[in-house]
Structure 1
Amino acid sequence: MISPIFVGHGSPMMAIQDTACTEFLLDYGKKVSPKAIVIFTAHWETEVLTISSTDDVYDTIYDFGGFPKELFQIKYEARGNKALAAKLAERFQAKGIQVNLDAQRGLDHGSWVPLLRMFPTPVCPVIQVSVNPYLPPAEQYRIGEALRGLDQEDILIIGSGATVHNLRALNWEATEPDAWAVAFDDWLVQNMQIQNLNALFNYAAEAPNARMAVPRPEHFIPLYIAMGSGDPARTPQIIHRSYEVGSLSYLSVSF
């Protein structure tokens, strides 16, 4: 059994720089042996939930600019799995969630960067799934619920994003985390650990510094999907917490 996780994927530089978070990811990857990985990435936005459906090796998408050439030479050659994609589609449809399949899209850096640091050599099929940032948190959680029980099949579900992701607020001179970002994450941690879903679903009104931490929710909502996919009988566990440039959060949680 492999619990679903949410991971902060941060900057694409994670692929080539060693940090506290990349050390955590590498260590985590050594502890688990998934039969397949399902990853919801903040960098693939669609109105209708869309699942990658291919048996081929994915292209590596470089959905960023202004970074070292070394990053653009990396290829993460994971394969997809049509049969598993179809199984996921059936689960979503059974819950009344509309689904599309996509046979062409490669892995964006919200997927391949954390996967590269967890599993430097691909170890199993990967299914990439899009997000719709305009759905409310309760609906994101319901999307995750459709996948409950896959952890019992050793399928690793990953929500890839960031709890605090405000690029305009980055403090390049910071040597310590910004207090406002820490306060937001503290509130999340407290409410996740007591499983206060009402508060979590209403984070925009209740959490301190919510608008500052989440100016746009595409990186935040994979947290709710991962949370929904976990066993509610388990208490969420904080498996990593660090920050870069003041407020960029690498909070990671196991559900």
Structure 2
Amino acid sequence: MVKPLFLAHGSPMMAIEEDDYTEFLNKLGTKFNPKAIVIFTSHWDNETLTISSIDSVYDTMYDFYGFPEELYQIKYPAKGSTEIASKVEEKLTNQGIKVNKDISRGLDHGAWTILKHLYPKADVPIVQVSINSNLSIQEQIKIGDALKTFGNDDILVIGSGNTVHNLRLVDFDAVSIDSWAEEFDDWLINRIKENDFISLYNYSDNAPYANLAVPTPDHLVPLFIALGSSSLLIPRVIFRSYELGNLSYLCFEF
């Protein structure tokens, strides 16, 4: 059995850097041997949830600009799985959730920068799924809930995003962590550990500095999908750090 994860993908530079976080991801990947991975990425945001459905090797997407040329040379040649994609489609549609399939989109950096460290051999089949950041938190959790039996089948569900993600406020010269970012994460951790869903449903009104931490919900949505896909609801913080003053690398196992 594998448990759902929420993992921070941060800057694309993590694909070529070696630091505490990438070391954590390297070690984390050795703890699981999943049959497949279903990853919800904040960098694919559609009105209708869309499932990548291919058996061939994904193209590696460079959906960013202004980074060193070395980053654009990286390939993550993971294969998809139409079999697992069909299972995702079945689970979601059985819960009344409308989905589409996609047969051409590559892996965006919200997926491959993490997966490159988790499974560097790219030998685990990947099914990438889009999010709809306009849905309520209740609906995001319902999406995850539809997939909660996947862990029993050794299919790893990953939500890829960031709890605090405000690129307008990052500080490239920062030598300390902004207190407001830590306070928002502290609140989120406590509410999740207490299974306080009522507060979480309305985090934008209840959480301190939510307007700063989450200017748009896209990077937070995968957290709630991963949370919903847990069959045990025993959340555990497995990593926490910050970069550029306030960019959060908070990670959960559910």
TM-score normalised per structure 1: 0.98
Letter aligned with residue 234 of structure 1? L
Is residue 2:83 matched to residue 1:79?
A: no
Which SS does the other structure have where 2:181 is aligned? helix
| Cross-structure match for 1:11 | 11
Is residue 2:240 matched to residue 1:241?
A: yes
| Cross-structure match for 2:121 | 121
Which SS does the other structure have where 2:217 is aligned? coil
Which SS does the other structure have where 1:41 is aligned? strand
Which SS does the other structure have where 1:17 is aligned? coil
Which SS does the other structure have where 1:130 is aligned? strand
- After superposition, residues 32-51 of structure 1 pair within 5 angstroms as 32-51=32-51
Which SS does the other structure have where 2:187 is aligned? helix
Which SS does the other structure have where 2:50 is aligned? strand
Work out whether residues 159 and 223 of structure 1, in 8 Å CA contact, stay in contact via their aligned partners in 2. yes
> 1:184-223: CA deviations, max 9, x gaps?
0000000111110111111000000001000001111000
Of 50-59 and 12-21, more deviation after overlay is shown by: 12-21
Question: For 1:39 and 1:188, how far apart are their aligned partners in 2?
Answer: 22
Deviation at 1:234, TM superposition (A): 3.4
| Cross-structure match for 1:194 | 194
Which SS does the other structure have where 1:7 is aligned? strand
Work out whether residues 110 and 161 of structure 2, in 8 Å CA contact, stay in contact via their aligned partners in 1. yes
Work out whether residues 194 and 235 of structure 1, in 8 Å CA contact, stay in contact via their aligned partners in 2. no
4+ runs deviating over 3 angstroms: none
Question: For 1:249 and 1:123, how far apart are their aligned partners in 2?
Answer: 29
- After superposition, residues 105-120 of structure 1 pair within 5 angstroms as 105-120=105-120
- What RMSD over aligned residues (CA atoms) do the two structures have, in Å? 0.7
- After superposition, residues 140-219 of structure 1 pair within 5 angstroms as 140-219=140-219
Deviation at 1:123, TM superposition (A): 2.4
Question: For 1:111 and 1:73, how far apart are their aligned partners in 2?
Answer: 16
> 1:33-72: CA deviations, max 9, x gaps?
1110000000011100000000000000000000001110
Question: How many equivalent residue pairs?
Answer: 254
Deviation at 1:13, TM superposition (A): 0.1
Question: For 1:172 and 1:68, how far apart are their aligned partners in 2?
Answer: 16
Question: For 1:39 and 1:107, how far apart are their aligned partners in 2?
Answer: 10
Which SS does the other structure have where 2:183 is aligned? helix
Of 86-95 and 171-180, more deviation after overlay is shown by: 171-180
Letter aligned with residue 182 of structure 1? E
Question: For 1:172 and 1:84, how far apart are their aligned partners in 2?
Answer: 41
Question: For 1:31 and 1:90, how far apart are their aligned partners in 2?
Answer: 28
Which SS does the other structure have where 1:168 is aligned? coil
Of 170-179 and 146-155, more deviation after overlay is shown by: 170-179
Structure 2 residue runs of 5 or longer lacking an equivalent are none
Is residue 2:227 matched to residue 1:227?
A: yes
Question: For 2:235 and 2:123, how far apart are their aligned partners in 1?
Answer: 26
Percent of pairs with identical residues: 52
Letter aligned with residue 68 of structure 1? P
TM-score normalised per structure 2: 0.99
